[in-house]
């Protein structure tokens, strides 16, 4: 068994489904309510206990994402960067990140994926601690033809993986969070482009499935997963965050709070981060946490 200590955020792509919003802005910098999209996958990795993170993005977006997140030291983590000039499929992230991975287990999260739910951190930690091969996270959807799909047998063991099937074998979408062992780089390099000219994540996952080394973790009732790659889904995520934060008085996907609660930083460092923020509602949420 291996422990996942490294994570990659794939924040590239052209964001064509969000045009004209993304004509001049990276989609990971668009807002989900009061925070940029990239805060959400970043804090998901942090909640999994992952502190060494590589962000892969387009060359034109590199400087602004670096300006937003820096090197991560203020959050008690390490953030490094690399570029993806022309996206040719999700597994390319492992090829680009080969030196960063260095034959270690790694988690990949897509930069436009939103996760939330009670107990999410515990489920992420479970996968982080017991990785043996590959682990993916499934989520029941009513439009499975839009996603990569995993089908299971009666005991919950994976049977087949499909990429955007016209007649899906199940309604379980493969979400944009994946854990792989140290073999993933060589497996990604061995992939052949599909009919649409891309390296397919489903093919990479299938390489573990055929060896009986694929684990599926279900995100069941009480969890929210949204691919915010369209204007409607971006609005759905924003409305959800606004509702939960206003009703419960909490901040969802705050890197400062997550770093503090995960004990990546101490109380004084957390106070310093909050004190450095501009006077805004986001700061007020964090100040309320400090008072409590």
152 pLDDT higher than 90 = yes
The pLDDT value recorded for residue 22 is 87
The pLDDT value recorded for residue 23 is 87
CATH ID of 6-253, from 3.40.50.150, 3.30.450.40, 3.20.20.70, 3.90.550.10: 3.90.550.10
By C-alpha distance, which of 95, 30, 61, 68 is closest to 235?
30
List the chain domain ranges. Answer: 6-253, 254-292
130 pLDDT higher than 70 = no
pLDDT tens readout for residues 73-126: 999 999 999 999 988 999 999 999 999 999 999 999 999 999 999 999 999 988
Lowest mean per-residue pLDDT among 111-115, 157-161, 248-252, 260-264: 248-252
More reliable by pLDDT, 12 or 258? 258
The pLDDT value recorded for residue 186 is 98
The pLDDT value recorded for residue 43 is 98
The C-alpha atoms of residue 144 and residue 170 are separated, in whole angstroms, by 7
Query: On the CB side of 279, how many CA atoms lie within 13 Å of its CA?
Result: 0
By C-alpha distance, which of 70, 4, 5, 15 is closest to 234?
15
Question: What percent of the chain lies above the pLDDT cut of 90?
Answer: 82
E-strand stretches of the chain: 6-11, 31-32, 35-36, 52-57, 78-83, 106-110, 113-117, 134-140, 148-152, 158-163, 172-180, 214-218, 223-227
Question: What percent of the chain lies above the pLDDT cut of 70?
Answer: 99
More reliable by pLDDT, 229 or 24? 229
More reliable by pLDDT, 2 or 156? 156
Residue entry with tokens 């004084």? 268
Instruction: Give the pLDDT mean for 129-143.
Output: 91
Residue entry with tokens 């996968």? 127
Strands 52-57 and 78-83: parallel
The C-alpha atoms of residue 2 and residue 217 are separated, in whole angstroms, by 17
Strands 6-11 and 31-32: unpaired
The pLDDT value recorded for residue 251 is 87
2 pLDDT higher than 80 = no
**Helix, coil or strand: residue 86:** coil
The two tokens of residue 88 are 């040719």
52 pLDDT higher than 80 = yes
More reliable by pLDDT, 87 or 7? 7
The pLDDT value recorded for residue 141 is 96
137 pLDDT higher than 90 = yes
68 pLDDT higher than 90 = yes
The pLDDT value recorded for residue 225 is 97
179 pLDDT higher than 70 = yes
Q: What is the CA radius of gyration of the chain?
A: 18
pLDDT tens readout for residues 13-45: 777 889 998 888 889 999 999 999 999 999 999
- State the chain's mean pLDDT as an integer: 94
Instruction: Give the pLDDT mean for 182-193.
Output: 97
The C-alpha atoms of residue 89 and residue 80 are separated, in whole angstroms, by 21
The C-alpha atoms of residue 183 and residue 175 are separated, in whole angstroms, by 21
The pLDDT value recorded for residue 1 is 59
């Amino acid at each position: 068994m291996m422990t996942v200590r490294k994570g990659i955020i794939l924040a590239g792509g052209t964001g064509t489904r969000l045009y004209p919003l993304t004509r001049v802005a990276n989609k990971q910098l668009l807002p989900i309510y009061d925070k940029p999209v990239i805060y959400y996958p970043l804090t998901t990795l942090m909640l999994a206990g992952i502190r060494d993170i590589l962000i892969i993005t387009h060359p034109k977006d590199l400087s602004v994402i670096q300006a937003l997140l820096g090197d991560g030291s203020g959050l008690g983590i390490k953030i490094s960067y690399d570029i993806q000039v022309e996206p040719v499929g999700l597994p390319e992230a492992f090829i680009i990140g080969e030196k960063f991975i260095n034959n270690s287990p790694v988690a990949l999260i897509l930069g436009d994926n939103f996760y939330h739910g009670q107990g999410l951190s515990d489920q992420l930690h479970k996968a982080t601690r017991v990785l043996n091969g590959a682990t993916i996270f499934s989520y029941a959807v009513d439009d499975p033809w839009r996603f990569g799909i995993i089908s299971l047998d009666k005991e919950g063991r994976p049977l087949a993986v499909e990429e955007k099937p016209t007649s899906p074998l199940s309604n379980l979408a493969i979400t944009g969070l994946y854990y792989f062992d140290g073999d993933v780089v060589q497996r990604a390099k061995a992939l052949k482009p599909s009919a649409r000219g891309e390296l397919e994540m489903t093919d990479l996952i299938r390489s573990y499935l055929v060896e009986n080394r694929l684990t599926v973790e279900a995100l069941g009732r009480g969890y929210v997963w949204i691919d915010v790659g369209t204007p409607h889904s971006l609005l759905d995520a924003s409305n959800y965050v606004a509702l939960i934060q206003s009703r419960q008085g909490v901040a969802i996907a705050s890197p400062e709070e997550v770093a503090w609660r995960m004990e990546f930083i101490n109380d004084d460092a957390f106070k310093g981060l909050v004190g450095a923020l501009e006077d805004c509602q986001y700061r007020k949420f964090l100040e309320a946490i400090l008072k409590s």
